[in-house]
Amino acid sequence: MLTAEEIATQIDLGEIEWSGGLRGDSLLLHLGSPIQPLIASSSGQVIDLADQASIDALYGPPQHGWYSFDLAPGQIALCQAQRPVRLGAGLAGAISTLSHLARVGLATHITSPWVQPGWNGYLTFELSNVGPVALRLRRGMPVSRLAIFRMEGVAQPVPRHPFYGGSGQLGSRYANEFTPDGSWR
């Protein structure tokens, strides 16, 4: 894991692009816009992961001008980070919730915290309330940190993903990327 001093060096060398602050030895991540709740249109609803329209039906409309959002117990919402980040080809990251927020039930990225080498764009938080009461989120509040790791050996270039990190597209594009047998499209 890179120290704050090494992160600053990598920023100076152009291997990391980051306009935000640090928290200890990691980048401090804030809630940005849009925020997009996951919704169930009916009880018993089933999402067919091989059908992109079925996946898309899981999401409410993105809220671009939001100031606060109440995340109910058991609810999940996606939210774009406030600032983009770019990691060099030999650097990867892991997102973790700030412990103060975890202690009230907020999880920001428990299911897929890994940020691939060469990432370039806005990260998307997978916000989940695992606590007993609603949590009021506010745009701009710090929620997570991104620890940066140096990859060992020769790093394989990761092509820019067409679905993530750019224009505010937050939801899963799984069915657009994989065929039902699991191969790449």
Q: How many domains does the chain have?
A: 1
Residue 87 belongs to some domain of the structure: yes
Q: Residue 132 above 80 pLDDT? A: yes
Name the E strands within the chain. 16-17, 26-37, 68-71, 76-81, 85-87, 91-97, 106-107, 114-115, 120-121, 124-129, 135-138, 142-150
Residue 185 belongs to some domain of the structure: no
Residue 166 pLDDT class (50, 70, 90 cuts): low
- pLDDT for the residue 169: 72
Residue 62 CA, distance from chain mean position: 15
Give catalytic status of residue 17 as yes or no: no
3-class secondary-structure state, position 53: helix
Residue 10 belongs to some domain of the structure: yes
Residue 184 belongs to some domain of the structure: no
Q: Exactly one of 5, 15, 17, 126 is catalytic; name it.
A: 126
Q: Residue 165 above 80 pLDDT? A: no
Q: Cα(180)–Cα(171) distance, rounded to whole angstroms?
A: 19
CATH number at 124 reads 2.70.40.10
- pLDDT for the residue 155: 63
- pLDDT for the residue 24: 93
Q: Which domain holds residue 102?
A: 4-153+162-171
Kindly report, residue by residue over 52-70, the tens digit of the pLDDT. Answer: 898 898 999 999 999 999 9
Q: How far is CA 134 from CA 31, 50, 76, 81, 91, in A?
A: 17, 32, 12, 21, 36
Residue 57 belongs to some domain of the structure: yes
Average pLDDT on 128-150 reads: 97
Q: Residue 153 above 90 pLDDT? A: no
Residue 177 belongs to some domain of the structure: no
